Structure 1
């Protein structure tokens, strides 16, 4: 059984990115979960992720528009492989014209 969490940070203000919409899709393209980041910029997507390639899509354009900011990336898609991990953590660091992500712990 593999679970997934994320933490989105706003690099401009140095604070959590609250209210970022996200969607998790599975190996066949089916939507497995969706939600938004909480007041701490975090979201936990519950359920058992099957092995294979998954995509976590962040609605960064909508979030930036709500904050009254310009952005180059209307969405950020992080594609990753689920194998035998018990838990995956996918952090995202945002700025208007760049982002970074990595496999967290």
Structure 2
């Protein structure tokens, strides 16, 4: 998946928390989000706040789908609230896709 496809996929599935997202989709959208945030911060605080708000839901959705792709539940993103939990999530987000799981992207059965 290339940059444009990943951004289109994430923005069209902006509130879809089921399914799976490959590493490329997640990281290309992460780069897009970073570029938008840098550009918005150069324009002004209000634009930055609006851009952050607009990209929050798609970022959470693609993060959830990425966690589903490695066999975890999207609720693990709550670790972001702890600060140090970002390192755990970063480790999981860079993992290769798991072969198991169902077509709906639900987490694996224990």
Question: Fold conserved (TM > 0.5)?
Answer: no
Q: TM-score, normalised by structure 2?
A: 0.29
User: What TM-score, normalized to structure 1?
Assistant: 0.30
Higher Rg of the two aligned structures: 2
